[in-house]
Structure 1
Amino acid sequence: MPLYLQDEPPEHFEDSGIIPVAAKYKSPAPIPSQRRRKEKSPRWLRRTRRAIKYIKWRTLLVVTITMLTVIIVAGLVLIADASNRVQSSLSSLQRVVESVRARQGTDLTMTDFNRLQASVTDLSTNLETARKQIAFVGLFASFNPEIEANLATINSAYHLSLAANEMLKGLQPTVFFLVSGDDNNSVVSGAASGSRIVELMQIGQGSVFSAKSYLAAAKDDVAKLDLTRLSASSILNVEGLIQYREQLVQVNDFLTVAPDLLTAVLGLSREQHYLILSQNNDELRPSGGYISTYGWLTVRNGRVTDYSYSPTTATSPNPPPPQMATQIKVPDWWISYGEPIYAAWDGSWYADFPSTADMSMWYYNNGNNPQSPVDGVISIDIVGFEYLLKALGSVTLPDYDLVVTPENFRQVVYDIRASGDGDLPHKRFLATLYQQIFAQWENSNVDPQIRQHLMGAVLQALQEKHIMLHFADSNLNDVTDLLGWSGAQSSSTNHDYLMTADANLGNKSNHSIARDLTYDVDIQADGTLKSRLTVGYDYSQRVAANDPAVDAKHNGPLDYDNLLQIFIPPGSIMGTTTNFPSEPRRVDTASYTNLIAEVTVPFDSSERFQLNYQTPPLIETIGSYHRYRLLVQKQPGTLADTASIQVILPANAKILNVSPSQSASYNLDRPVLEFGLNLKSDVWIEIVYEN
């Protein structure tokens, strides 16, 4: 075949009738690159490629998404199940805690401690199980901030429970010693040996330090969460954990330094000297009462080794040099003194007891009085002494041929004053009585039952601000603040706040006067509060007839002249007032707006003094949630004011959480919550709601 026909296609030959003949020459060699491509395509790959052509990608995508959804939903179910189990354990723990709180401190036993420890352990176990149960869900945490938050809060709660457990373990040797090894004994059975308590608390320090590492881990668990991506409920959970952690940190810090602090307070390393202020709360002052008598005591190795009591006079205790009076800045609205330096001793204008105690220490130390400089101040009022007397049963005063009991205490105290010899014999009698109470207290160590009753009386008086403590050492003051034993006035910034403080200007009638507070709060859309406060006084002749302190002949005029202070949030705007003789004077500080007015309640009458004001924005917003908080503080020395609080929420508000539980709730176009309080101590109210 001619060469020019060799490359012709077969169809050409068919059409031309020419029969092709095999070529004598080879076709050109394949292109090398084509040969390499065929060599790199093994049979299994070619089959795979052919199979891929028949895959339905849309179906595969749907199936994959469905599987992922099932896994995520299963994870959420596990989270919910884990949360339910944890919530059950937490509820059980809360029931135990409330049960323990309901008992007096001196009635607590090793059985109570074991129940508390078992509940914390159960909570830790369930939290650990929950962590393992939902660990795989962490693979999806980066895709869903709510899942991430759930995991973080469970981890944080787990570490907090471990911290609490470690702290309880650290306390176990001390508690075991206090109950003398008997589960049914109270915690004061072995409280006489202060040095042994310190030794046992030092033994438990290893667990206390372990708790510190768990608290740090709990902080890290939630520290990286972006709260702006979370729902309001998740934010509340995180904030709740942060608050719990802060409380546990405070307790842990206290346990860390407790051995050193107890060593100092109990005089285990050196003698400690304390000034005692006996405040007469029948004649109220803002931080307790008029200081009619005072004393000092020396403590060494946990025992009172020396003490003395004296009446207050112009020269007892010795005042500081007159030229030091310029160091005391007395407000121009306070009681006027011929010698201004005495204002530092009289009970002061402060509703904050630590400020009053600091001035008293300054007065006592700079007068070079016995045992000065003192290491701290112990304040006790008439009610506090009544509690101690009730625990002792009776006190015998040989010099007066009297047996003083809780039933005749007030009568004999004021009978001495009514004898006609002035108030100095009355003060001397009180000094003798109080000194004998301390003497019998010291001798009570031989009777465990009386010792237990005395400790119960002291704890009750501390909780109700009838005994207050203040120290020269600021570390000790941190502890008394934590325990609520300092009588300190709290700051009122970032939340609603209310405190009223009377100063009796003329008699000793406060035991017979019932004071009550009515506080109405209307929450506005912009977070401000329209507030109305009514301070009521009921001064009944029927009640006063049984009170030996109400005596116009010996104890001052019958009418109640009162210098009233009302503390509300700083920056509040005043509105109208009712029944005040003149507009209350206003004093602004960074912590409060203080309203001051002199008012009178005639004998056998009732009076109500009312004022209206609007606060700055005080509602905290968390996503779609809102939180209202109110702190109502008790004035030291008062018996137990009643307080009626009404909070009106915005329209359509949905209430999510209320603490403490409201007394009543109803809806009059807007939700309304009512609270009835008995102010034996400070009270917090918190309401969380959603618009």
Structure 2
Amino acid sequence: MKKIKILFFTILLMIVVVGVSGYFWLQNNPTGQALFHFGGLVVGANDNSVILKQALGLSKPKTYLLLFLNNTELRPGGGFIGAYAVVRIDKAKPEILKIEGSEILDKNATAFLDNPPEPIQRSLAVDNWFFRDSNWSPDFASSSENVLRAYAKENGLLSENIDAVVGFTPTVLEEFLKIVGPITAEGIEFNAQNFTEKLEYEVEYGYVDRGEEFVERKNLLADVATALIAKGRENILEGLSQYFAVVQRMILEKQIVFYSVDSSYQSILKSQNLSGQMTTSTGDYLFWVDANLGSLKTDVALTRDLTYKIVSTGTQYLARATMYYDHTGDYDWRTTRYLAYSRIFVPLGSRLISITGSDVEDALGKLPTDEGVENGRQWFGSYIKIIPGKSLAVTFEYLLPSDIIDFEKSKQYNLFVQKQIGTNQIGLNLNLNFGRNIRPVEPSTFEMGLDNNSNNDYNFKTDLVIDRAFVIEFDN
């Protein structure tokens, strides 16, 4: 089994670990130089970075749990956990201790976490909270802690010795293929445009045509990795700056996320925006989170556009968060009707008024509307259903707490809109009416265009490729 995906995860591990270590190291040593090669890392003379030493096991060996988060089957923690690996790094050299599909760990387990979330029980018809479904929190730290609990409960290898969790999506490999160019494995060409779809098809269905058994279906990954390594070696030194740039961008866009069991290192990861955690910022806050539940890889066929509006009721401020979905897929091997559980995380103390556009009934009866508190944020949740070729607008309407916009206490409004791990190309539109004169600070009036705004309105269009922060000041 080790041979199935060893090379695949080896290159991913080296990219991820070298990338994040180099990120820290180059920030601390901007004039330093580094030389990389597969199978190890040679660094410059100024190698005094604590993070570098720890991440690469230069002081003592480190054990990592790697999660392959398939973002074409979106989950709150970044994507369905399709596979995992246990890797030990000792003096910058990785050793693959175990690697397999998450379904194998779940199938062989005799004990599981209790009480899976109601949407998982209802939509997937399961009574056990499996490892593959354990990344239910959109906060990667909280998600990783639960993943580790599930991993230990299912008797995962070295479950008591995991030092860190690294999650990554197939988007990362697509970006690296843009650098190295097309590769060929078993006579099949993979490139940045077709990589995820073609690999999913060949692993799920194409193995029959290749004359392979079901248990051998992921052998293709080893050949893909071999081809990728060979192609990467051709320009690893010349293209080093490109690799660093891709890794840093993938971290910023939350396609690569990290969690450290050691709280001191976790604090550093959080301070450097590497942890994929929910922000604890004050002021207004919006975080839309979708969970694909039994809808194949349909997220690849969805376009999303998020609109956030605020209007004054005279005594309070009413917020409306609307996600516009467009299902461009069909009923086929990869996509189907989109069944999901959608949540928004908003300021603590917000009060739900209504939800429109959500699904109201399934085979089990009336679908509930839920709410709760997580990581200091209020959340509201509901089920959605989108038929191929159709569009859907889902709106959460709620009253903001009085302290979010309080002219007596503050002349400034702050909004932080957070991006879900693993998502791609979500549009973001703001239409904020405060009922009094405003002055945009961040983004500035120059960045946003004065012609799009009146004295009372703040209108801005951007995207959620990364987290977005906004600051508005009110005139006296």
TM range (shorter): 0.7 to 0.9
- Aligned twin of 1:499: 287
Please say if residues 173 and 200 of structure 1, whose CA atoms lie closer than 8 Å, have aligned partners that are also in contact.
no
Q: How does 1:104-123 map to 2 (within 5 A)?
A: none
Q: Which has the larger radius of gyration?
A: 1
Which of 318, 327, 334 is the aligned partner of 1:530? 318
Task: Name the CA distance, whole Å, in 2 between partners of 1:368 and 1:638.
Answer: 31
Residue 196 of structure 2 corresponds to residue 410 of structure 1: yes
Q: Report the CA distance between 1:439 and its aligned residue.
A: 5.1
Correspondence 1:630 to 2:420: no
1:481 pairs with 2:266: no
Structure 2: where are the runs of 5+ without partners?
Answer: 1-17, 19-24, 361-367
* Corresponding residue for residue 89 of structure 2: 299
Give SS of 1:618's match: coil
Q: CA deviation at 1:659?
A: 2.8
**Match for 1:200: what amino acid?**
N
Residue 330 in 1 paired to residue 116 in 2?
yes
Q: How does 1:332-371 map to 2 (within 5 A)?
A: 332-336=118-122, 340-371=127-158
The answer on 1:419 being equivalent to 2:206 is yes
User: What is the alpha-carbon distance in structure 1 between the residues aligned to residue 224 and residue 147 of structure 2?
Assistant: 19
Taking a change above 3 Å as real, the CA distance of residues 623 and 576 of structure 1, as seen in their structure-2 partners, is closer
Over 3 Å counting, the alpha-carbon distance change for 1:330 and 1:312 in structure 2 is closer
Query: 1:600 — aligned with what?
Result: 385
Cα contact 1:566–1:594 (8 A) shared by 2: yes
Aligned to 1:382: 170
Partner AA of 2:307 in structure 1: T
User: Structure 1 residues 405-414 or 345-354, which shifts more?
Assistant: 405-414
Tell me the secondary structure at the aligned position of residue 176 of structure 1.
Answer: coil
The yes-or-no answer on 1:177 pairing with 2:32 is: yes
Instruction: Measure the CA separation in 2 of the matches of 1:434 and 1:359.
Output: 31
Alignment partner, residue 671 of structure 1: 456
- Tell me, what secondary structure is at the counterpart of 2:100? strand
Letter in 2 for 1:640: Q
Contact 2:165 2:259 in 1 (8 A): yes
Check the 8 A contact 1:562/1:600 in 2, yes or no: yes
Aligned to 1:517: 306
Cα deviation 1:306-331 (Å, max 9, x = unaligned): 46542222436854x51x634xx533
C-alpha deviation, 1:454, in angstroms: 2.5
Equivalent of residue 644 in structure 1, options 394, 404, 429: 429
- In the alignment, the residues of structure 1 paired with residue 90 and residue 234 of structure 2 have an alpha-carbon distance, to the nearest angstrom, of 16
2:350 — aligned with what? 572
- Is the CA contact (8 Å cut-off) linking 2:106 and 2:130 kept in structure 1? no
Give 1:581-600 correspondences, 5 Å limit: 581-582=359-360, 584-589=369-374, 591-600=376-385
SS at match of 2:105: coil
* Aligned residues of 2:416 and 2:470 also touching (Cα < 8 A): yes
Q: Determine the C-alpha separation between the residues in 2 that align with 1:440 and 1:685.
A: 45
Which of 242, 259, 264 aligns to 1:453? It is 242
Which whole-Å deviations, capped at 9, do the CAs of 1:568-620 have from their partners, x for residues lacking one?
Answer: 22221222332223463222457222111111111101111123211112346
Q: Does 1:490 align with 2:279?
A: yes
Change (3 A) 1:654 1:389: closer
Distance of 2:310 and 2:317 partners within structure 1: 6
- Where relative contact order (Cα < 8 A, 6+ residues apart) is larger, the structure is 2
Q: Percent identity?
A: 21
Instruction: Tell me: CA distance 1:310–1:354, structure 2 relative to 1, closer, same or farther (3 Å).
Output: same
Instruction: State the Cα distance separating 1:344 from its structure 2 match.
Output: 3.6
CA–CA separation in structure 1 for the residues paired with 2:466 and 2:318: 26
- Which of 193, 200, 206 is equivalent to 2:46? 200
Aligned partners of 2:184 and 2:190 also within 8 Å: yes
1:489: how far off? 1.5
Evaluate the alpha carbon distance shift between residue 341 and residue 476 of structure 1 in structure 2; reply closer, same or farther with a 3 A threshold: farther
Alpha-carbon distance change, 431 to 419 in structure 1, aligned in 2, over 3 angstroms: closer
CA contact (8 A) 1:284 1:637 kept: yes
Q: Give the secondary-structure state (helix, strand or coil) at the position aligned to 1:635.
A: coil
One-letter identity of the residue aligned with 2:319: S
Q: 1:487-520 deviations in whole A, cap 9, x for unaligned?
A: 111236x411111111112221111210111111
The 5-angstrom pairing of residues 215-230 of structure 1 reads: none
Q: Structure 1 residues 362, 423: closer, same or farther in 2, change over 3 A?
A: farther
> Which residue does 2:5 correspond to in 1?
none
Q: Is the 8 A contact 2:184 2:227 kept in 1?
A: no
Go from structure 1 to structure 2 and tell me whether the alpha carbon gap of 1:656 and 1:452 turns closer, same or farther (over 3 Å shift).
Answer: closer
C-alpha displacement of 1:173: 8.8
> Aligned to 1:563, which of 338, 341, 344?
341
Q: CA deviation at 1:461?
A: 1.2
Report the TM-score when normalising by structure 1: 0.57
Describe the shift of the 1:638–1:624 C-alpha distance in structure 2 as closer, same or farther (beyond 3 A): closer
- Native 8 Å contact 2:36 2:237 kept in 1: no
Count of residues in correspondence between the two structures: 435
Higher strand fraction (1 or 2): 2
Q: Aligned ranges for residues 125-164 of structure 1 at < 5 Å?
A: none
C-alpha contact (below 8 Å) 1:659/1:685 kept by paired residues = yes
Give the TM-score normalised by the residue count of structure 2. Answer: 0.80
**How much has 1:362 moved relative to structure 2?**
2.8
